[in-house]
Amino acid sequence: MDFQLLDLYTLLPEIFLLVGVSGILLLDLFLSKEQRGITYGLSLVVLIVTSVLPWFFYDADPKVIMSGLVVSDLLGAALKSTVCVLVAVGLVYSKSYLLSRGLHRGEYFSLTLFATLGMMVMISSNHFLSLYLGLELLSLSLYAMVALQRDSGRSSEAAIKYFVLGAIASGMLLYGMSMIYGGTGHLNIEAIVSSVLSGQSDSNLLRLGVVFVIVGIGFKLGAVPFHMWIPDVYHGSPTSVTLLIGTAPKVAAFAFVLRLLAEALGHPSLHQDWSQMLTVLAVGSLVIGNVVAIAQTNFKRMLAYSTIAHMGFLLVGFMTGSINGYSASLFYILTYVLMALGGFGVILILSRDGFESEELSDLKGLSQTNPWCAFLLMIILFSMAGIPPTVGFWSKLFVIQSIIDLGYVGLAVTAVMTSLIGAFYYLRVVKIMYFDASDSSSINTTKYSPGMAVFAINGLLLLGLGLFPGWLLSLCESLIESSVRTF
Amino acid sequence: MSTHVIGSLSLIVWLPIIFGVAVLLIGRDGRERVARWLALVGSVLSALVVIPVWIQFDVKQSEFQFVEFIPWIETFNINYHLGIDGISLVLILLNALTTVFVVVAGWEVITKKVSHYFASFLILSGMINGVFCSLDAMLFYVFFEATLIPMFLIIGIWGGPNRVYAAIKFFLYTLAGSLLTLVALIYLYRTTGGSFAISDFYTVSIPQSAQVLIFLALFAAFAVKIPMWPVHTWLPDAHVEAPTGGSVVLAAVMLKLGGYGFLRLSLPIVPDAARELAPFVIALSLIAIVYIGFVALVQRDMKKLIAYSSISHMGFVTLGIFIFNAEGMQGAVIQMVSHGFISAALFLCVGVLYDRMHSREISDYGGVVNSMPMFAALFLVFAMANAGLPGTSGFVGEFLVIMGAMASNFWFAFAAAMTLILGAAYTLWMYKRVVFGECGSEQIRGLKDVNAREFAMLFVLALIVIGMGLYPKPFTDVIDVSVASVLELASVIKN
């Protein structure tokens, strides 16, 4: 596993992104405020090019390069591409919001791109070191972005909370990783696997390490009981940052959990430990997320709790430790980020100068003021609630199917019953949009804008995927099968 | 069994949906006229495409007909698999006709978001047809659940003062019921070794304990939908708040989804559990028939009265299904169709009054016959049919069910026959208080009789109700073989 120059080709997407963001950072120094649009445009171009690049430089069979730090596989290529597209779409949604909030600055874009780089490193890492580096690059960029609106008290509070809890989580994760290192003597995922397989590892130490790793993962995903930061950070951040936190990093986190648990610690003897822990986290998230969301009056906070519940569902699929379960989880996360993208995106679209449109009551009578927008948001909400014919139904179905395959009928019943509770608060938003008369006309009613166009594609995609989910599912399955080295 | 890739059934399912989307796109604000006419054309065409299917349908065949099969989600072997038997066919006909009545009934009455209103009903109609046609359990479930969305919007947007409560209650109640069904269906998928085809569910053997759980899970969905006592409480709320069209579709068609579910899924898939738990279901049905009949007697709101009468009449359907004999089951299916037409007609009649008086309270009326003689005559036909008068369609179904019940147990028949008395009591008493007597107020004296549109739809319905009562043979012929094959499947010992 020596270093070869050819390996750099595989890393070209990351290298291109890094060069791009450095260039943008420098260029931005010489641009006046009016020319900031160039920075925005260049960032989009860099993201789009980066999203295409992975498809030219991946290996169909997983190949470990860079002295074991990085793995090149189909799953990595697909997820990296997805992440770049998600971030780019997020930027399109945010354009007018950023302009009106004074956030349309060079730092915003370079931090966004650095966060993207961090996600890409996480996605294709094969080593605890690169995994952690990617995670920290992502987190540090996000901490700064949350605090970017520095004269807003709420924002600063959210940033401090995010930073402190994020640091604790990272600490936990590192502690767990160090124990695994102590138990196996390796940080490289394959070396850990072979050490566990050969039975030379210290299983008690390993188990303790798994506990801390799970705590770290729980924090990062926002699973109960490590979820307390989610509502505050989602609520306190500028909405464009919330959109970023709520979408692409979830995909990266999925890859992170997959590399850590499924690949490094996927041995049946360890799986039975972490699957139990994940089950507890999952049930807690499903119950707390869905029940507490009912009490929210702020749309962003409601979506935050809904995220917690969705992460619970993701973990339900994950705890199976089977190929089916992982592909169901992958399907779930991909469709979930599409819904989250639309959910936060609509807040950005409807906001205007000095008006955030983030309270549920701001949506009153949206079906009269902007019927098209209300219709699309309704699709997104029904999709989140898991009502057919939207794709949210299928994502829940596939997860439930994967656990019933292994005989967890009780868990399946819990999962569907909590989604019944969830249906209530999604329905309430539909009710506010469709059944209530509009009182304030402060929401932005612009009908044609780039954000609106993206929103339309986003919403219709959820409906389209709901009618034809088969191809995405088989894609997810082949991605997992070709890339995840299971036992 | 010939397999078409895309055929008449797809047309039946998708034509209304396509028209619904078209109405939505074309009928923007200020183009209500276009929306109305397009919706009418769509609903009439959707009804017309049922006719060739009815004619070509082979009544002697017990297999599913007009089968279409396209792989949908190959990973999980979920297929776009359509096909009908006689039971589906009569219910599709009912649904197609009801949609036309609904469009006509909402013609001038709906002034708010006209295109959305008609589009919702057309899309809903297509989805309901989809439920009746599905031979794949997951496809069935998708259509079954998807019907909630348009109905939720119909009640919530165009409903009465308490519409939000009613809409959410309707949605959550029915969703709660059907989520357990989902788990049961996935469990069955696993038991069959990877198939969602309903016909594969019929043949797989299932241990008794699992059968009971599956039966209860399916029961949760269908009992809420029908609705059976004691999970019926959403229905009166939904009916009272829904606009006339909503009540019509709800009573005439959506309740039948539950009965259809019993016949298509519960009985054939878990026959042993169905037989074991039949006394329990029969008990609930008899409670519904008698107790809800009394409840209907004391209602002051006309719509609520008809809603309770619906629950009581649907008790007949479940009774007929779960006494496991040919008369009973045939009666149940006929009762579903006939109740569909009668309840639709009664809700339309209430709608006619409500549009004029803006009240549904019985006490606000009296002496309507003086100003609206034509309406009073038509209303009487439906009231009599609801009471089960011989010569109307209401009699045929009830008579068959009572006959079936008699064969099974005298006291079942006795209790069931009580409805004939109770039904006559609450319907005719309401009719008397609303229609007869002196004019209650100046407003009633000034009421205009039914116009041509209202007359046309009520008259056609009256023809159907009387026609079905006098000569039910076309209907019984169509369902005869299908009922026999369901009974046969339900008598298999599978555990």
A79 pLDDT higher than 50 = yes
**Pair B324, B275: CB distance under 8 Å:** yes
Q: Once rounded to an integer, what is the mean pLDDT over residues B444-464?
A: 85
The burial class, CB within 10 Å (0-12 / 13-18 / 19+), for A272 is exposed
**Interchain CB distance below 8 Å, A420 and B142:** no
How many whole angstroms separate alpha carbon B60 and alpha carbon A327? 46
Backbone phi and psi for residue A24, each to the nearest 5 degrees, phi listed first: -60, -40
C-alpha angle B262-B85-B191 in degrees, rounded to nearest 5: 50
Tokens 């969705």 sit at which residue? A310
Q: Once rounded to an integer, what is the mean pLDDT over residues A92-108?
A: 87
Say yes or no: A412 contacts chain B, CB-CB below 8 A: yes
Q: End-to-end CA distance of chain B: give it in Å, rounded.
A: 29
**Interchain CB distance below 8 Å, A420 and B182:** no
Cβ–Cβ pairs < 8 A, chains A and B: 87
pLDDT band at B443 (very low <50, low <70, confident <90, very high): confident
Q: Who among A405, A420, A424 is closest to B190 (CB)?
A: A405
How many whole angstroms separate alpha carbon B30 and alpha carbon B20? 18
The whole-number pLDDT of residue A281 equals 93
Say yes or no: A404 contacts chain B, CB-CB below 8 A: yes
Backbone phi and psi for residue A124, each to the nearest 5 degrees, phi listed first: -110, 25
**Pair A69, A8: CB distance under 8 Å:** no
Token couple for B26: 């074309």
**Pair B33, B128: CB distance under 8 Å:** no
**Interchain CB distance below 8 Å, B179 and A416:** yes
**Interchain CB distance below 8 Å, A427 and B76:** no
The whole-number pLDDT of residue A384 equals 92
| Domain range list for chain B | 3-490
Give the bridge partners for A355, in sequence order.
Answer: A352
Say yes or no: B189 contacts chain A, CB-CB below 8 A: yes
Q: Who among A420, A435, A470 is closest to B164 (CB)?
A: A435
Token couple for B153: 């919007």
How many whole angstroms separate alpha carbon B438 and alpha carbon A323? 76
Residues of B in contact with A419 (CB under 8 A): 179
pLDDT tens digits for A387-400?
Answer: 888 999 999 999 99
Q: Who among A413, A431, A473 is closest to B168 (CB)?
A: A431
Q: Once rounded to an integer, what is the mean pLDDT over residues B422-445?
A: 83
The whole-number pLDDT of residue B2 equals 46
3-state helix, strand, coil split of chain A in percent (to 5) is 75, 5, 20
Q: Once rounded to an integer, what is the mean pLDDT over residues A367-376?
A: 86
How many whole angstroms separate alpha carbon B55 and alpha carbon B78? 30
Q: Who among A382, A394, A417 is closest to B149 (CB)?
A: A382
What chain B residue is nearest to A419 in terms of C-alpha separation?
Answer: B179
**Interchain CB distance below 8 Å, A431 and B75:** no
The whole-number pLDDT of residue A81 equals 94
**Pair B191, A407: CB distance under 8 Å:** no
The whole-number pLDDT of residue A291 equals 92
The whole-number pLDDT of residue B238 equals 85
Minimal CA–CA distance to A416: which of B167, B185, B270? B185
Q: List b or e across B265-279, with b for residues whose CB sees 16 or more CB atoms inside 10 angstroms.
A: bbbbbbbbbbbebbe
**Backbone CA torsion sign across A262, A267, A268, A272:** negative
Q: Mean of the per-residue pLDDT values for chain B? A: 87
Say yes or no: B146 contacts chain A, CB-CB below 8 A: yes
Q: Mean of the per-residue pLDDT values for chain A? A: 89
The whole-number pLDDT of residue B373 equals 85
How many whole angstroms separate alpha carbon A50 and alpha carbon A55? 10
Q: Once rounded to an integer, what is the mean pLDDT over residues A391-419?
A: 89
| Domain range list for chain A | 266-487
Say yes or no: B30 contacts chain A, CB-CB below 8 A: no
How many whole angstroms separate alpha carbon B259 and alpha carbon B125? 17
Residues 6+ apart with CB under 8 A from B245: B102, B103, B105, B106, B110, B117, B121, B154, B158
> How many Cα atoms occupy the beta-carbon half-sphere of B215 within 13 Å?
23
The whole-number pLDDT of residue A487 equals 64
What chain A residue is nearest to B77 in terms of C-alpha separation?
Answer: A470
Say yes or no: B142 contacts chain A, CB-CB below 8 A: yes
- Which spans in A30-73 are helix H? 36-52
DSSP string, B170-237: HHHHHHHHHHHHHHHHHHHHHHTTS--BHHHHHHS---HHHHHHHHHHHHHHHHHHTTPTTS-THHHH
pLDDT tens digits for A444-477?
Answer: 767 778 888 899 999 999 999 998 988 898 999 8
User: What proportion of chain A, given as a percentage, has pLDDT over 90?
Assistant: 46
DSSP code for B74:
G
Hey, is B350 helix, strand or coil? Answer: helix
Minimal CA–CA distance to A28: which of A104, A92, A90? A104
Say yes or no: A467 contacts chain B, CB-CB below 8 A: no
How many whole angstroms separate alpha carbon B374 and alpha carbon A58? 79
Tokens 């939207």 sit at which residue? A390
Query: Of B179, B189, B206, B213, which to mutate for an interface test with A (greatest number of A Cβ within 10 Å)?
Result: B179
Which amino acid makes up residue A179? M
pLDDT band at A220 (very low <50, low <70, confident <90, very high): confident
| ipTM confidence | 0.86
CA distances from A305 to A332, A459, B215 (A): 17, 21, 34
**Interchain CB distance below 8 Å, A435 and B157:** yes
Q: Once rounded to an integer, what is the mean pLDDT over residues B85-103?
A: 91
Q: Once rounded to an integer, what is the mean pLDDT over residues B34-42?
A: 87
The whole-number pLDDT of residue B1 equals 43
**Interchain CB distance below 8 Å, B183 and A413:** yes
Q: Once rounded to an integer, what is the mean pLDDT over residues B466-495?
A: 85
pLDDT band at B129 (very low <50, low <70, confident <90, very high): very high
How many whole angstroms separate alpha carbon B186 and alpha carbon B242? 34
**Pair A470, B72: CB distance under 8 Å:** yes
The whole-number pLDDT of residue B439 equals 77
Q: Once rounded to an integer, what is the mean pLDDT over residues A178-186?
A: 90
Residues of B in contact with A398 (CB under 8 A): 76
How many whole angstroms separate alpha carbon A312 and alpha carbon A293? 14
DSSP code for A451:
H
How many whole angstroms separate alpha carbon A243 and alpha carbon A97? 12
Residues 6+ apart with CB under 8 A from B473: none
The burial class, CB within 10 Å (0-12 / 13-18 / 19+), for B318 is buried
C-alpha torsion A270→A276→A281→A286, nearest 10: 130
pLDDT tens digits for A244-297?
Answer: 999 999 999 999 999 888 888 888 888 888 889 999 999 999 999 999 999 989
DSSP string, B122-169: HHHHHHHHHHHHB-BHHHHHHHHHHTHHHHHHHHHHH--TTHHHHHHH
Length of chain A: 487
pLDDT tens digits for B243-275?
Answer: 888 888 888 898 899 999 999 998 888 888 888
Residues of B in contact with A393 (CB under 8 A): 142, 145
pLDDT tens digits for B214-223?
Answer: 999 999 889 9
How many whole angstroms separate alpha carbon B409 and alpha carbon A281? 53
B294 pLDDT higher than 70 = yes
How many whole angstroms separate alpha carbon B231 and alpha carbon B177? 10
How many whole angstroms separate alpha carbon B92 and alpha carbon B50? 8
How many whole angstroms separate alpha carbon B262 and alpha carbon B272? 14
Tokens 């069910």 sit at which residue? B401
**Interchain CB distance below 8 Å, B156 and A419:** no
DSSP string, A219-239: HHHT-TTS-THHHHHHHHS-H
**Interchain CB distance below 8 Å, A409 and B179:** no
A437 pLDDT higher than 50 = yes
The whole-number pLDDT of residue A3 equals 64
Cβ–Cβ contacts within 10 Å for residue A260, how many? 25
How many whole angstroms separate alpha carbon A278 and alpha carbon A326? 14
Higher pLDDT, A6 or A271: A271
pTM over 0.80: yes
Token couple for A468: 């034809």
Residues of B in contact with A384 (CB under 8 A): none
**Pair B391, B469: CB distance under 8 Å:** yes
pLDDT band at A440 (very low <50, low <70, confident <90, very high): low
**Pair A90, A237: CB distance under 8 Å:** no
Minimal CA–CA distance to A290: which of A224, A236, A244? A224
**Backbone CA torsion sign across B210, B214, B220, B226:** negative
Residues 6+ apart with CB under 8 A from B51: none
For residue A13, is the peptide bond before it cis, meaning its omega torsion is within 30 degrees of 0?
no
Say yes or no: A435 contacts chain B, CB-CB below 8 A: yes
- Which spans in A185-267 are helix H? 189-198, 203-221, 229-236, 239-246, 248-257
**Interchain CB distance below 8 Å, A427 and B171:** yes
Q: List b or e across A6-38, with b for residues whose CB sees 16 or more CB atoms inside 10 angstroms.
A: ebeebbebbeebbebbeebbeebeeeeeeebee
**Interchain CB distance below 8 Å, A405 and B171:** no
Measure in Å the smallest separation between the Cα of A381 and chain B Cα atoms: 11
**Interchain CB distance below 8 Å, A397 and B186:** yes
pLDDT tens digits for B298-338?
Answer: 888 888 898 999 898 888 899 999 988 888 899 999 999 99
B447 pLDDT higher than 70 = yes
Say yes or no: A438 contacts chain B, CB-CB below 8 A: no
How many whole angstroms separate alpha carbon A186 and alpha carbon A67? 13
Residues of B in contact with A469 (CB under 8 A): 73
How many whole angstroms separate alpha carbon A152 and alpha carbon A141? 18
The whole-number pLDDT of residue B5 equals 67
Measure in Å the smallest separation between the Cα of B258 and chain A Cα atoms: 18
DSSP code for A437:
P
Report the Cα A431 to chain-centroid distance in Å: 28
